[in-house]
């Protein structure tokens, strides 16, 4: 969430930075609310100080010999009661304005980092680096074709169970999914991440804190009878692990890794990637999440990206790193690196991880702070897929396909899967 002080004191900065995202915003109304809220706060604080002074004066006069029931003390007490009544009215007005301002601000995205390249769309994203040699051959199959030949998944039965854009994995497919999850968790915990298995159902406060609500409500599955939603990403519960907390600075950084099923409606994507594992309503993901001191968020962003890249390197999957331009940034992100894995059958790079630094945006929405001595500050948060399991499986199938119909697996996965290839059954 944007800083209310910026809205009040420097709305031009917000308008300029959101303009880099391609937004044209007029903050006049919000600035007025913020100013009214501050004026009420200052008036209330002044009256409370007067009330405290009068309370002390009553005690002092009684100690000096004044009659506790006399006119002199009664007049002071009446003044104090009048102040209390006025303060109560001001507090109510202030709470209403604060709630209104907060509700309005929840709809505004994060300000982009100064280092984030300007641009209007994904066409303006900047390639940073590549790793590995993409496999380029004629006649290679796409992952869904390979999966069908190897009987790894079934979409028709999944429609019977749920609806379209769900898959059921069988045999080697189910085993490969499980192997990938365990491999990624072990790789990241070996680097010092603390493993978490969070709830799959999350409340509205958690979704607001991480930035999914209110903007993305239509893309999230909701339970009809409860204030609970199916989590779209483990980023949501991980953000709320420390909601409304002050984290001692000596405990930072906190680094978490979590496996979770993820659920998304994929609104607006119908007709795209209707086959296979790329765009599903339900998929598994291993998520990386950091809470860091504001002074260290830039180096943390480089490290969380490197940790996600380490998975692709270990699995011998060629990829490239893109820095997203301002027009393609996610709602909560200030700066983002996307990892795109090479899909040999499709002959294209596809996103498999998005590593973002969110500055204090999520921390302000979730009230997560750190204290160093007498100084209390909002923490910075970072998140990155480490990795999306279905897309990783798709990349393994397309890059490892062999002429005999088998799929060769990377050596790092063999201890988890049990052998070095998928074979036709």
Active site residue ranges: 264, 279, 351, 354, 391
Report the alpha-carbon angle 260-228-383, nearest 5: 40
Residue 247: its H or E element:
strand 245-248
From residue 20, give the alpha-carbon distance in Å to each of 25, 158, 216, 362, 417: 11, 43, 21, 20, 46
Task: Name the residue among 193, 382, 197, 395 with its Cα closest to residue 305.
Answer: 382
List Cβ neighbours of 138 (8 Å cut-off, separation of 6 or more): none
> Hey, what are 156's tokens?
């028709």
- E strands present in 17-148: 126-131
Is the peptide bond between 387 and the residue preceding it cis, with omega within 30 degrees of 0? yes
| Distance, CA of 59 to CA of 79 (rounded, Å) | 14
Report how far residue 169's alpha carbon sits from residue 155's, in angstroms, rounded to the nearest whole number. 9
Whole-angstrom distance, CA of residue 302 vs CA of residue 286 = 18
Q: Which two tokens stand for residue 112?
A: 């982009």
CA separation, residue 125 to residues 119, 146, 148, 347, 404 (Å): 7, 31, 34, 20, 39
C-alpha distances in Å from residue 127, one per residue of 113, 273, 325, 327: 18, 24, 11, 15
Residues ≥6 apart with Cβ < 8 Å to 10: none
- Cα–Cα distance between 121 and 322 in angstroms, integer? 13
Answer whether 72's CB lies under 8 Å from 129's CB: no
The CA distance from 302 to 186, in Å, is 21
Question: In whole angstroms, how far apart are CA 408 and each of 25, 315, 316, 389?
Answer: 52, 11, 11, 17
Closest CA to 37 of 13, 61, 65, 5: 5
């Amino acid at each position: 969430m944007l800083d209310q002080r910026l809205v009040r004191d420097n709305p031009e900065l917000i308008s300029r930075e959101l303009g880099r995202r391609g937004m044209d915003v007029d903050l006049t109304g919000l600035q007025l609310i913020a100013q009214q809220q501050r004026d009420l706060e200052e008036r209330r604080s002044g009256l409370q100080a007067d009330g405290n002074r009068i309370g002390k004066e009553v005690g002092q006069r009684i100690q000096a010999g004044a009659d506790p029931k006399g006119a002199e003390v009664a007049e002071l007490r009446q003044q104090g009661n009048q102040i209390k009544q006025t303060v109560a009215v001001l507090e109510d007005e202030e709470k209403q304005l604060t709630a209104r301002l907060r509700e309005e601000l929840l709809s505004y995205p994060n300000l982009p980092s100064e280092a984030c390249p300007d641009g209007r769309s994904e066409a303006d994203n900047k390639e940073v680096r590549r790793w590995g040699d993409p496999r380029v051959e004629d006649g290679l199959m796409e992952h869904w074709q390979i999966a069908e030949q190897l009987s790894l998944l079934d979409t028709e039965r999944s429609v019977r169970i749920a609806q379209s854009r769900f898959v059921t994995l069988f045999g080697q497919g189910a085993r490969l999914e499980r192997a990938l999850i365990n491999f990624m968790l072990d790789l990241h915990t070996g680097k010092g991440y603390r493993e978490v298995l969070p709830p799959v159902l999350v409340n509205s406060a958690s979704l607001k804190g991480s930035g999914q609500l209110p903007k993305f409500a239509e893309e999230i599955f909701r339970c009809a009878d409860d204030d609970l939603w199916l989590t779209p990403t483990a980023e949501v519960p991980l953000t709320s692990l420390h909601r409304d907390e002050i984290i001692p600075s000596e405990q930072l950084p906190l680094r978490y890794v979590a496996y979770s099923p993820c659920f998304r409606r994929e609104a607006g994507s119908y007709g795209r990637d209707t086959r296979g594992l790329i765009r599903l309503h339900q998929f598994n993901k291993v998520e990386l999440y950091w809470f860091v001191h504001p002074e260290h968020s830039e180096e943390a962003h480089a490290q969380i990206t490197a940790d996600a890249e380490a998975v692709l390197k270990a699995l011998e999957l060629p990829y490239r790193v893109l820095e997203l331009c301002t027009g393609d940034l996610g709602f909560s992100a200030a700066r983002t690196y996307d990892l795109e894995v090479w899909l040999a059958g499709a002959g294209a790079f596809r996103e498999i991880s998005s590593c973002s630094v969110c500055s204090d945006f999520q921390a302000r929405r979730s009230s997560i702070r750190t204290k160093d001595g007498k100084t209390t500050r909002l923490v910075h948060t970072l998140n990155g897929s480490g990795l999306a399991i279905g897309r990783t499986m798709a990349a393994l199938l397309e890059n490892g396909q062999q002429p005999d119909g088998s799929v060769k697996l990377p050596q790092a996965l063999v201890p988890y899967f049990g052998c070095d290839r998928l074979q036709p059954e």
